[in-house]
Amino acid sequence: MKTPQNKRSSGIWISSFIAIAFGLLTLKEGGLTLFGPPQYTEAAGQYVPFVLWFNFIAGFFYILAGVYIFRQHRVAAILSMLIALLTVGVFGAFAVHIALDGAYEQHTLIAMLVRSLVWIGIAIFVCRKLMIRTDEIIHG
C-alpha cells in the first residue's frame, strides 16, 4: 500500500538512490568475484565465502528496496529493516569467524561496517517516513 503523500522528499530520493546504487555496485563486485575471470577472485584475496554470497544475494534486495523506497511503498520499511538485521547478523558471524582466527581481508571488515551502518540508517529513515503510525490507523 502506498503512503498518502505523493510528493517525494529529498530524503526519499537520496535513500532510493543509495539503495539502488549500493545494490548495483554489490552485484557487480560480488558477481565478478564469484563468476568472473580468475584475476577477480585472486584480487579479492582471502575473502570469506558466506559473506561474499550473502552480500551478492543481498544486492538484488538492495535494488528492490530502493525501488519500493522510491515508490514510497510501506513494504520498503519492512524490507529495509530485514536487510539491516540480516546484514548485522552476517557481520556478527563474520566477527566470530575473525575471532576464531579465520582468514579475512581488512576491506571486508570495513565494507561490512559500512553496509551495516548504511542499512541501519536507511531502515530508520524509511520506517519513520513510510510506516503508518498506530494513531493514524485508529483516527483515520
Predicted confidence pLDDT, tens digits, the chain (140 residues): 544 445 789 999 999 999 999 999 999 999 999 999 999 999 999 999 999 999 999 999 999 999 999 999 999 999 999 999 999 999 999 999 999 999 999 999 999 999 999 999 999 999 999 875 444 444 54
Domain boundaries along the sequence of the chain: 10-139
State how far the Cα of 22 lies from the Cα of 56, in Å rounded to an integer.
Answer: 11
Phi, psi angle pair for 83, to nearest 5°: -60, -45
Q: How far is it, in rounded angstroms, from Cα 24 to Cα 34?
A: 15
- Write down the pLDDT at residue 11: 92
